[in-house]
């Protein structure tokens, strides 16, 4: 399901969330935002 999340999350638009940690899981970021 990670790939599905990757397609939904645009890394370029949300770069500010993981600019300090490129390997940060988009799924985890979604939890933090919500």
Give the per-residue SS3 of the chain: CHHHHHHHCCCCCCHHHHCCCCCCCHHHHHHHHC
Note the pLDDT of residue 12.
66
Q: How many domains does the chain have?
A: 1
Q: CA 32, 10, 23, 26 torsion: positive or negative?
A: positive
Model pLDDT for residues 1-34, shown as the tens digit of each residue: 556 555 556 666 666 665 555 565 666 666 666 5
In angstroms, how far is CA 20 from the centroid of its own chain? 12
Note the pLDDT of residue 22.
55
Q: Which domain holds residue 19?
A: 2-33
Note the pLDDT of residue 13.
66
């Amino acid at each position: 399901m990670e790939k599905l999340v990757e397609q939904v999350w645009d890394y370029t638009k949300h770069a500010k969330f993981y600019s300090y940690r490129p390997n940060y899981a988009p799924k985890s970021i979604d939890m933090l935002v919500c």
